[in-house]
Amino acid sequence: MGQKKIDIEQVRQVAKLSRLDLSEDEIAQFSGQLSAILEYIEKLNQLDTSKVEPLAHCLPINNCLREDVVKQSLGTEKTLANAPQSDGQFFIVPKILEEPGGL
Amino acid sequence: MSEEILKLSCRELQRKIAKGEIKSSEAVSAVFTRIEKHDAQIGAFLSTFKQDALARAKEIDGKIAKGQSVGALAGVPIAVKDNMCTAFGATTCASKILENFHSPYNATVIDKLLAADAVIIGKTNLDEFAMGSSTENSGLKKTVNPWDKSRVPGGSSGGSAAAVAAQMCFAALGSDTGGSIRQPASLCGVAGLKPTYGRVSRYGLVAFGSSLDQIGPLTKDAADCALMLNVIAGHDEKDSTSVDEKTAPKCDYLAKIDEPVKGLKIAVVPELFQGADGEVVAAVKGAIELYKKSGAEIIEIKMPHFEYSVAAYYIIATAEASSNLARYDGVHYGYRTKKAGDYIEVYTKSRAEAFGPEVKRRIMIGTYALSSGYYDAYYLKALKVRNLIRSDFIAAFQKADCIMMPISPTTAFKIGEKMADPLQMYLLDVYTLAVNLAGVPGMSVPCGFDKNNLPIGLQIIGSTFQEEKLLRIAKMFENQTDFHKKKPQL
């Protein structure tokens, strides 16, 4: 086997960007699997696309504008109904900022 | 009586219910008798709504008894893939991260089904977040193929396909990002339609690949697909990518379904048949031969960029998925880890504990392809190739009314057989992905069986917003064959 397309350190970095706390086993497995997939994807380089525009979607529509009118929204109760933790008014998360002086 | 009801199409059942010859409550009871007898083995449903469905059926029967007018799906039991939001029951996407999620609103397609007086009986299993080709990636349940319970139903709408094939509903909704309606329809021997991107509102469909996702029906035959499309198609101001009436007016897809397309021209791409199993090739070629005998002209064409669709798709779809799935943060809704110390750990551990391997893999590929230094080489390159793939379709439809090819290179495979190698699983999607990349409509129609009595599907691909013609072409085949009438012995 030659060098892997994406090594363990890169997998760690991508996992961090992906907000996934992967186990060491998963990192090792993904390094192999992602390398195989990305090697296959190299196939795209057989095509000369220097004169081709990228196509993000296929629809003949561009801007969809509408009047800015006030409408009924979900409301606090329904919005918070699925929250893992809330106090009935807000979502609750662990403290984000350190104590003053800690930054 | 109850067995006889189950054999009816949606159209027949709706007509009989509307005339008062059959009660909706009888149809709903028949379906639940069937589910209670067989779904422990098949595993098509993640949740069912027996009491509510019976109550609703009685309500519709009451309307009919009073002579009130009823909708196009009056009293017909329908199943819905569990990635469409319902304000009743859970909407899980077959993921542990949404296992207890209760949507505060209905998807637009759900509102449309209800407005047509359909009875929604349950929500069907899928590959987690619709990512997969076998339904084996479900984080919650195993679904098997009703034709052979040791085999997969296909995916990701495997629960919907299995439910229709096993006559546990009269029609179902699925979603198709890269073949997820057509491929399970093919593997389970039912009809499946992926409409043109933009034809059906995606509002309330849990997002996977936003430029590719499209909702469509899985049914017993092409005319039932037309009936379902009549109900669900149309512009929705809540989905800015649903087309307006001026750009692509919807029509009555059922009105002319029995009219053959005159002077039908069918394009085939001979090279593409090389990648499929012999029995699949024979059945699909046999189907094309039948059209030819009925007067269709067969035109051999090349689609030089088609073979790049797997590579382009698995960059574009994963890039969009990695962005869409960033919303699962353990804060607003869904699973939250119990092990977290700080805010970032809530995010990273919740996702690590609750997403399955395929979802993680796709988030990783997509994040990599979008990350600094790789964006041009992967994502932008894939979007350019997408344009080339679409140009192949545009050229094809200048010469022909439709393109025909297989759906899947194989018939239903054994459970577990392909799970070890993700790339091999992706390569099974070779015939379906280009349709999503080009945004065009595609159908699966049963066209034969292999030596193990497993169904084979014919793929018919139409031009943008030409669903009406596509459905008529499918119906022409059904008029001469009975593959779509065959049912599995459960």
pLDDT in tens, B23-46: 999 999 999 999 999 999 999 999
pLDDT above 90: residue A4? no
Which of B91, B240, B365, B397 would you mutate first to test chain A, the one with the most A CBs within 10 A?
Answer: B365
Quick one: tokens of B121? Answer: 């009986």
Nearest to A40 among B305, B311, B352 (CB): B311
pLDDT in tens, B435-490: 999 999 999 999 999 999 999 999 999 999 999 999 999 999 999 999 999 999 99
Helix (H, G, I), strand (E, B) or coil at A16: helix
pLDDT above 60: residue A2? no
pLDDT over 90, % of chain B: 98
Contact A49 B333 (CB under 8 A): no
Asked whether the whole model's pTM tops 0.95, one would answer yes
Contact A41 B383 (CB under 8 A): no
A77 in any annotated domain: no
pLDDT above 90: residue B395? yes
Q: How far does CA B212 lie from the centroid of its chain? A: 12
- B-chain residues within 8 Å CB-CB of A34? 361, 364-365, 368
Nearest to A81 among B102, B331, B383 (CB): B102
* HSE (side-chain half, CA atoms, 13 Å) at B397: 20
Give the model's pLDDT for residue B196: 98
- By annotation, the residues of B acting in catalysis are 81, 156, 180
Query: What is the bridge-based pairing of β-strands B402-406 and B265-268?
Result: parallel
- B-chain residues within 8 Å CB-CB of A78? 104
Contact A55 B390 (CB under 8 A): yes
Which of A8, A10, A12, A41 would you mutate first to test chain B, the one with the most B CBs within 10 A?
Answer: A41
- B-chain residues within 8 Å CB-CB of A42? 311
Closest chain A residue by Cα to residue B317: A56
A76 in any annotated domain: no
Cα–Cα distance measured from residue B443 to residue B430, given in angstroms and rounded to the nearest whole number? 15
Contact B333 A83 (CB under 8 A): yes
Element (H, E) at B461: strand B455-462
- A-chain residues within 8 Å CB-CB of B388? 47, 49, 52
Give the model's pLDDT for residue A61: 74
Task: Give the mean pLDDT of B3-24.
Answer: 97
pLDDT in tens, A49-84: 999 999 998 887 778 888 899 999 999 999 999 999
Cα–Cα distance measured from residue A12 to residue A9, given in angstroms and rounded to the nearest whole number? 5
Closest chain B residue by Cα to residue A51: B384
A97 in any annotated domain: no
Listed residue (B175, B147, B183) closest to B408, CA to CA: B183
A60 in any annotated domain: no
In CATH, what number is assigned to the domain containing residue A37? 1.10.20
Does residue B156 have a cis bond before it (omega within 30 degrees)?
A: yes
Contact B364 A18 (CB under 8 A): yes
Kindly state the DSSP code that residue B377 receives in the 8-state scheme: I
Task: Give the mean pLDDT of B298-315.
Answer: 98
pLDDT in tens, B50-59: 999 999 999 9
pLDDT above 90: residue A99? no
pLDDT over 70, % of chain A: 91
Q: Which domains are seen in chain B, by residue range? A: 2-264 (3.90.1300.10)
Nearest to A94 among B334, B343, B382 (CB): B343
Cα angle, residue B164 at apex, residues B447 and B448 outer, rounded to 5° = 10
A27 in any annotated domain: yes
pLDDT above 60: residue B126? yes
Listed residue (B228, B168, B171) closest to B199, CA to CA: B228
Closest chain A residue by Cα to residue B328: A19
Task: Give the mean pLDDT of B61-70.
Answer: 97
A14 in any annotated domain: yes
A30 in any annotated domain: yes
Shortest Cα–Cα distance, B324 to chain A (Å) = 12
Listed residue (A36, A46, A61) closest to B197, CA to CA: A61
Contact A85 B336 (CB under 8 A): yes
Domain count, chain A: 1
CA distances from A79 to A47, A88, A90, B103, B344 (A): 48, 10, 10, 10, 22
Shortest Cα–Cα distance, B35 to chain A (Å) = 30
Closest chain B residue by Cα to residue A82: B333
Give the model's pLDDT for residue A1: 43
Tally A–B CB contacts below 8 A.
Answer: 169
The confidence band for B340, taking pLDDT boundaries of 50, 70 and 90, is: confident
Strand segments (E) across B68-201: 77-81, 119-124, 171-175, 191-194
Contact A93 B343 (CB under 8 A): yes
- A-chain residues within 8 Å CB-CB of B244? 61
A40 in any annotated domain: yes
Among the residue ranges B1-10, B71-80, B264-273, B455-464, the one predicted with the least confidence is: B1-10
pLDDT above 60: residue B166? yes
pLDDT above 70: residue B338? yes
pLDDT above 90: residue A3? no
Q: Look up the domain containing A36 and give its range.
A: 8-46
CA distances from B228 to A92, B41, B158, B218, B435 (A): 43, 28, 19, 9, 21
